[in-house]
Amino acid sequence: MAILKADAYGHGLVPIARKFADLGVDFFGVAFLEEGIQLRQAGIEAPILVLGGLVGYQVKHFLDYHLDITASSLHKAQQISEEARRIGRTARVHIKVDTGMNRIGVRVQNAAVFALEAAKMPGLELVGVFTHFVRAQGPDIELAQQQKELFQGVLDEMKRGGLEVPFVHVANSAALYNLDGLDYSMVRPGITLYGYPAGPHLDGIWDLKPSLSVHTEIVFFKGIRKGMGVGYMHSWQAPRDGWLATLPLGYGDGYPRILSNRADVLIGGKRYPQVGNISMDQAMIWLDGDKHGVGEEAVLIGEQGKERIGAWELAQKADTVAYEILCGWTPRVPRIYEGKGWKPYTS
């Protein structure tokens, strides 16, 4: 199951889904109903599981678009069953077991009994059971091991009750690398599909190649004097006479304001610091004594020459995670898909 939530981690939901489908991926996972509908409307025919919660009025839409539903309580399962019977359809359901995340899901001690009851409900086909790890990326995986044991206990109790389901899935990106004994019927990688490990301590260790890079170009270039302030609130002042470049993007595009005076960009194969507060639409770069003209490429994420800036680097400087950096690029930023086997998708 390829995870495509949050616009395929910022990469573009429909183009990425089509690419994965071309490559033979046979199951997809999204977070919300609307994402599943968008995939169906784009012609994706493979099973799609909506991993998030739902409210009763949404059930009909799940059934209309043939989307697999996550059931996390007896009440939810009853709502699904009633709506499926009302319109004469069968709902495909996966049970979410809460082994420690405490978001959604039926608690471990109730999970097997719930599954056995749900499997008997008319209009409901129980096809899957799953859980999610709190921390599987390590280095400490003790909690993940405990969750794995709890989940296996639920499966064992279900089996003793005469119930087995075709799709059992728990292995996310981190678990695929760090945990053994998860060879169930399906895995559901997310961030690794896009070329990033699940934690900063693994960056450069896992053999992954990032699929996304973020490029812009200089739109203004000028000299400034020592002591002159830059941007809103003058949070940075030039330490000496030098050159300043302006880039045409800011937090309105997904370049977080918290990176102000923290991040680097690549121009001409060299690192330069971003200076001054990042604004909604513009960011300034201190070139010191170097000169770079209007139209020159600037790389925010990616490689240029021998230098590389990755999403985990920006994430650490922004006190967040690479997931947020990748998912944060707004629709205002064009996505261009290149490389072998790509159709001319644009968005």
- Residue linked to tokens 């300043």: 244
Of 80, 89, 97, 100, nearest in space to 33 by CA: 80
All structural domains of the chain, each given as residue ranges with its CATH number in brackets, are 2-202 (3.20.20.10), 214-327 (2.40.37.10)
Each as own residue / partner, the long-range contacts of residues 134-138 (CB below 8 Å, 24 or more positions apart, any chain) are 134/100, 134/101, 135/174, 136/172, 136/174, 136/175, 136/178, 136/179, 136/198, 137/174, 137/178, 137/197, 137/198, 137/199, 137/201, 137/202, 138/174, 138/178, 138/199, 138/201, 138/202
What is d(CA 142, CA 155) in angstroms, rounded to the nearest whole number? 20
d(CA 94, CA 107): 15
**pLDDT, position 203:** 78
Which pLDDT value is given to residue 132? 97
For the segment 300-324, the average pLDDT, to the nearest whole number, is 97
Q: Which residue has the tokens 């923290």?
A: 262
Q: pLDDT grade, residue 343 (50/70/90)?
A: low
**C-alpha span between 24 and 19 (Å, rounded):** 9
Active site residue 232: yes
Give how far Cα 106 sits from Cα of 92, 102, 112, 218, 270, Å. Answer: 17, 9, 9, 52, 52
DSSP structure string for 29-74: EESSHHHHHHHHHTT--S-EEE-S---GGGHHHHHHTT-EEEE-SH
CB 250 within 8 A of CB 237: no
Query: Which one of the listed residues 159, 226, 232, 291 is annotated catalytic?
Result: 232
**Residue 138 has what pLDDT?**
83
The whole-number average pLDDT for the span 183-197 is 95
pLDDT at 175 over 60: yes
How large is the average pLDDT for residues 87-102?
Answer: 97
Q: Could you tell me which residues are beta bridge partners of residue 346? A: 336
pLDDT of 206 above 90: no
User: CA 203 to CA 197: how far, in whole Å?
Assistant: 6
* C-alpha 106, offset from chain centre: 24
Rg over alpha carbons for the chain, rounded to the nearest Å, is 24
Mean pLDDT within 227-238: 98
Q: Which of 56, 121, 114 is CA-nearest to residue 90?
A: 121
Q: Which of 5, 19, 76, 96 is catalytic?
A: 5
Q: Which two tokens stand for residue 185?
A: 């019927």
**Which residues on neighbouring strands pair with residue 222, listed in sequence order?**
244
Q: In whole angstroms, what is the distance from residue 84 CA to residue 97 CA?
A: 23
Range name among 98-107, 147-156, 195-204 with the lowest pLDDT average: 195-204
Residues paired with residue 96 on neighbouring β-strands, in sequence order: 130
Q: What is the mean pLDDT of residues 65-74?
A: 97
Distance CA 280, CA 297 (A): 20
- Tokens representing residue 1 in the block: 């199951």
> What is residue 218's DSSP assignment?
-
Distance of alpha carbon 75 from alpha carbon 192, whole angstroms: 35
